[in-house]
Amino acid sequence: MRRALVFTLAFAFASAHAQTGSVGGASSTQTPQIVVQPVQTPTITNAPRAADPGLLQLVPADPAARGTRPDANGERDAAPEKNDFQDFIASSTGQKLPLYGYDLFRRAPSTFAPVENIPVTPDYLIGPGDELLIRAWGQIDVDYRATVDRNGAISIPRVGTVQVAGLKYQELSVAVKQAVSKNFRNFELLVTLGQLRSIQIYVVGQAHRPGAYTVSSLSTLVNAVFAAGGPSTRGSMRAIQLKRGTQVVTEFDLYDLLLRGDKSKDAPLLPGDVIYFPPAGPLAAVSGNVKNPAIYELKGPASVVTLVDYAGGLTTTAQVKNVTIERIENRDTRVVDQFTLDAGGMARTVKDGDLVSVYPISPKFENAVTLRGNVALPLRHPFKDGMRIRDLIPEKEALITRDYYQRKNSAVLADSVPQGELAASVRRLFDEINWDYAVIERQNTDDLSSILIPFNLGKVVLEGDPSHNLPLRPGDIVTVFSKSDINAPAGRRPVVVRLEGEFNHAGVYQALQGESLRQLVMRVGGVTPQAYVFGTEFMRESTKKQQEERLRQALIQYEQDLQRAAATRARNVTSAEDAASLKAEAEAQQSVLARLKRLQPTGRIVLELGEDSTLANIPEIPLEDGDRLVIPYRPAMVSVFGTVYNEAAFLHKPDKTVSDYVAQAGGTRKEADRRSMYVLRADGSVISNQGSFFSSSLDGARLMPGDAIVVPEDLTRTTWMKDLKDFTQIFYQFGLGAAAIKVIRD
C-alpha cells in the first residue's frame, strides 16, 4: 500500500510539472527533456528532479520494499526472491540451480547512459515536447528553436503555426519547408531534433519493480524491461507484452534475445504504453554435465533436445547412456525414469516440473595399462590381447628417468653446484633402479579389491626369464622403484663413500658388495706418510639422524627441568633482591638453552684407534651409503680451553703432561673446577678425572697432537649451573666435541 501511494504521488508530481510553470528554465508549454544519466548514488524516482530536467532516475519509491542495496560498484543486487520450484529442485540435486536469464537483471546497473545524443531513426514520430532546430539559408537566414506544444504544433515567426505532431522524422523537413515556402522563395531548409520529449509508461504484472516510469521518447520495450529489473522470479521471460490501449503491440520472448541475440520483436514506446509481465509458464530443470545447468521456462511443446539446447548442449565429459528424468505425476507422486540420450531419448516430451540430469562419463580406461615410477616416460599404454610385462618395458633404456638426465645436464653448470659440495653432487647423481622388486596393481573383479603382484624386474628385462614375464590385464598399473624408494637389502644397495684428507687418492668411491672400511681404503691406494690415523674422523648419516633425535629429546627434557626448577624457586622468593636474582638467572638459562639448540651433531663414530695406529688398525666396519672418512694431516698443537688465564694452542711435546699445558696457559682461575677437567682426544673420545682411563688425576697424563684440554667453571655455585654441568656430558656422547665448546663459549 505504501509503495502504491508513493508511486501515485510521484506520478502526480510529474504531471503537475508538465502542465504548469517552468522546469529548469523551460517555458510553460515545454515538457522537460528527460534522459537517463549515471548518478553518484544509484537511486530511482518516478519523476524528474526540478534542478536537472535532463536526468531520469529509475528506482522504486520504497527501496526497502525491494530489499536491495548498492554495492561498491554502484550496482544493485536484489535480495533473492523465493521460488518454490527452485527450492524443490535443490532438495533433489543438492544445489540451487539458477533461474535462466534472471541474473542478467539482478546485477544490472541502477542507472543508464544518456540517450539524447544518439541518432534518431527516420520513423521516429514527432510529438508534444520535442524540440525542433530549424535552419534555413538563401533568400532567408533562419536559426530557430521551436518546441512542439500540447496541440502538436510549432509557431514560426513570420510564417505562423505548423502542425507537426504525428509526422515521422524523415517527413519533418519537407512539411516545414512547405509551410515556409508560402511566404518565401529561393531557400534551403533543414529541420533536426534537439532535446527529445519524455514519455510516461506503466510496468505491471509480475515485474521485479512494477510502477510508473518516465523515460526518453527513444526508449524501446527492451529498455523498459531492463529499467524495471526484468520479471520477478514468479514472472515470465517468454511472453512480455507491450499494450497500447486495447491492442497488444508486440509480445517479446527474452529467450530470443538471450539464446540467439534476436531483438526483432522489440518496439518503440509511446506515452501511456503498458508493459505487462504475465506469470511464469511451465518450468523444467536440467542439471549435471550440460554447459549451463539451470531452470528453464517452457513455451509450447518441449522435448529433451529443446531443454538441452537451452542449456547450451552437453559438456565434453557428458555420457549419454544413463540420463534420468524426474517427474511429478498428477501433482501427487514423484517418479524417476532412465533413458539413453539417442534420437528417441532426445524426442521425449518434457513437462512442467521435470528435472533432467546428465551424468559424467566414468574416468575408467577400458583398454589401458599404466607404467609409472622410475621409468623414462610414465604413461598409459593401449592394452592388447596377450600383453605381458616385456611388451610394456621392451628394453632397459625405458627405465632411465628424465630426472637422471636433467641432473646430469645441470651438473655441468658451475653455478648449480655450490663450492665445496661437488662430492655430494656426485652422490646425488647416483640413483639406481631396484631390479629385485617391481609390482603390478590389479583390481579383483570378483570383490573389487586391489591386489599387488610383485615380480623381479631384473629377471624380466635383463635376463629375459619367461617365468617372471607376467601377463597383464586392462587396468593394470605397473610400478618400477629405485633403490632409494624402497630400502633394498644392505648387500644390494649402492654404497657411495667419501674419502678425504691424507689419502693417496682421495675422492668419492662406490664400495663393492660386502666391502669394509679398511678394504676400501686399501683398494683405493692407502694413505700418505703424513696421515694422522689416530685423529681419523668417521661420519655416518644414519648415526647423525639418531644423534639429532636424541639431542632434540634431551633439550626438550632439559627445558622442562629448567621450568620446573624455576617454578619451585619462585615460590621461595621473599624479597626484591631474590626476585631480581631469579630473573637474571632465568635469562641466563634461556641464553644457554638457545645456544645449545644451535648445536649440530656430526654423526661421528669413535673408532677407538690406538695412539700409534696405522692403516692396518682401521676396523673392518661394514660400509653404508653416505659414509665419510677423513684422515687429517698430523697436527703439532695441543689446545687449552675454559677457565684459564690464556686460552691458546701450544706446541705438542711428548714429554709434556696436562698440568704442563695448563701451566703454559697461565694456570686455572679461581672460578675453575679442576676436579671436572677433561681432555677431548683427537679421535673423538673424552677422558676425565672421573673416567676409568685414569684412576686418580689428569695432571700427569700425556697427550697426543690434536688433543684439547677443557677446564670448566665451577658449576656448583648455583643450582641451575649444577644442572647444566650434568647436561654438558651429553654433548660428548653425541660426538659434538669442539663444536659444543665453541657454542657455549660464544
Q: What digits encode the pLDDT tens for the residues 633-668?
A: 999 999 998 889 999 999 999 899 999 999 999 999
413, 480: one domain: yes
Instruction: Please name which of 319, 321, 325, 314 lies closest in space to residue 349, comparing C-alpha atoms.
Output: 325
224, 335: one domain: no
Segment of 66-70, 139-143, 406-410 carrying the highest mean pLDDT: 139-143
Instruction: Please name which of 261, 272, 263 lies closest in space to residue 240, comparing C-alpha atoms.
Output: 263
Q: How far apart, in whole angstroms, are the C-alpha atoms of residue 482 and residue 465? A: 21
Q: Which helix or strand (DSSP H or E) is residue 583 part of? A: helix 576-597
Q: Please indicate, yes or no, if residue 180 is contained in any of the structural domains.
A: yes
List the domain range (segments joined by +) for residue 664: 549-571+579-745
Q: How far apart, in whole angstroms, are the C-alpha atoms of residue 639 and residue 69? A: 81
Cβ burial, residue 724 (10 Å; 0-12/13-18/19+): buried
696, 606: one domain: yes
Question: What residues form DSSP beta bridges with 138?
Answer: 187
Q: What digits encode the pLDDT tens for the residues 275-302?
A: 999 999 999 999 999 999 999 999 989 9
All cell numbers assigned to 433: 633402479
pLDDT at 12 over 90: no
139, 54: one domain: no
Domain harbouring 484, CATH code: 3.10.560
Q: Please give the tally of structural domains in the chain.
A: 5
pLDDT of residue 460: 92
What is the three-class DSSP state of 459?
A: helix
Q: Please indicate, yes or no, if residue 86 is contained in any of the structural domains.
A: no
pLDDT of residue 272: 93
H runs (alpha helix) in 138-220: 169-180
Q: How far apart, in whole angstroms, are the C-alpha atoms of residue 535 and residue 706? A: 7
Write out the E strands in 475-557.
477-482, 496-501, 507-510, 537-539
What is the identity of the amino acid at 141? D
Which whole number is the average pLDDT over 401-418? 67
Cβ distance 450 to 442 under 8 Å?
yes
Cβ distance 375 to 401 under 8 Å?
yes
pLDDT at 616 over 70: yes
Cβ distance 212 to 201 under 8 Å?
yes
Residue where one domain finishes, among candidates 491, 514, 536: 491
Instruction: Please name which of 239, 354, 341 lies closest in space to residue 299, comparing C-alpha atoms.
Output: 239
562, 711: one domain: yes
482, 439: one domain: yes
DSSP string, 385-404: TT-BHHHHS-SGGGG--HHH
The b-or-e profile of 23-51 (16+ CB within 10 A means b, else e) is bbebeeebbbbbbbeebeebebbbbbeee
pLDDT at 531 over 50: yes
Q: What digits encode the pLDDT tens for the residues 128-143?
A: 888 899 999 988 888 9
The CA-atom distances, in angstroms, between 90 and each of 208, 304, 697 are: 23, 20, 88
Instruction: Please name which of 602, 604, 610, 601 lies closest in space to residue 532, comparing C-alpha atoms.
Output: 610
634, 649: one domain: yes
pLDDT at 735 over 60: no
Q: Please indicate, yes or no, if residue 627 is contained in any of the structural domains.
A: yes
Give the chain's length.
Answer: 746
pLDDT of residue 108: 52
Q: Please indicate, yes or no, if residue 126 is contained in any of the structural domains.
A: no
Domain harbouring 735, CATH code: 3.10.560.10
Segment of 305-309, 399-403, 674-678 carrying the highest mean pLDDT: 305-309
Q: Please indicate, yes or no, if residue 632 is contained in any of the structural domains.
A: yes
Q: At what angle do helices 541-570 and 576-597 cross, to 10 degrees?
A: 170
Cα four-point dihedral sign 608, 612, 618, 619:
negative
Q: What percent of the chain has pLDDT over 90?
A: 42
Ramachandran class of 138: left when φ > 0, alpha when ψ lies in -120 to 50, beta otherwise: left
Q: What digits encode the pLDDT tens for the residues 16-49?
A: 333 333 333 333 333 333 333 333 323 333 333 3
162: number of Cβ within 10 Å = 22
418, 556: one domain: no
153, 205: one domain: no
Residue where one domain finishes, among candidates 491, 518, 538: 491
Cβ distance 212 to 202 under 8 Å?
yes
Q: Please indicate, yes or no, if residue 88 is contained in any of the structural domains.
A: no
Q: How far apart, in whole angstroms, are the C-alpha atoms of residue 269 and residue 122? A: 15
All cell numbers assigned to 163: 502542425
Give the largest Cα separation in the chain, rounded. Answer: 144
Instruction: Please name which of 355, 228, 352 lies closest in space to residue 280, comparing C-alpha atoms.
Output: 352
Cβ distance 55 to 153 under 8 Å?
no
Q: How far apart, in whole angstroms, are the C-alpha atoms of residue 56 and residue 190? A: 30
pLDDT of residue 701: 85
All cell numbers assigned to 513: 658388495
Q: How far apart, in whole angstroms, are the C-alpha atoms of residue 490 and residue 624? A: 8
Q: How far apart, in whole angstroms, are the C-alpha atoms of residue 671 and residue 644? A: 9
Instruction: Please name which of 433, 437, 432, 469 lies closest in space to residue 452, comparing C-alpha atoms.
Output: 437
Least confident span in 357-361, 463-467, 671-675: 671-675
618, 716: one domain: yes
Q: Please indicate, yes or no, if residue 555 is contained in any of the structural domains.
A: yes
Instruction: Please name which of 312, 293, 311, 305 lies closest in space to residue 350, comparing C-alpha atoms.
Output: 305
pLDDT at 545 over 60: yes
pLDDT of residue 111: 47
375, 394: one domain: yes
673, 586: one domain: yes
Q: How far apart, in whole angstroms, are the C-alpha atoms of residue 53 and residue 114? A: 12
CA atoms within 13 A on the CB side of 513: 4
User: CB neighbours of 10 closer than 8 A, spacing ≥ 6?
Assistant: 45, 46, 47, 61, 212
Q: How far apart, in whole angstroms, are the C-alpha atoms of residue 512 and residue 514? A: 6
Q: If you average pLDDT over every residue of the chain, what do you get?
A: 80
H runs (alpha helix) in 153-193: 169-180
CA atoms within 13 A on the CB side of 368: 11
Residue written as grid cell 509480445: 251
All cell numbers assigned to 457: 624386474
Residue where one domain finishes, among candidates 193, 212, 232: 193
Q: Please indicate, yes or no, if residue 234 is contained in any of the structural domains.
A: yes
Residue written as grid cell 700427569: 700
pLDDT of residue 39: 30
Which whole number is the average pLDDT over 539-559? 89
What strand order describes the sheet that includes 686-688? Answer: 648-651, 637-642, 708-711, 678-680, 686-688
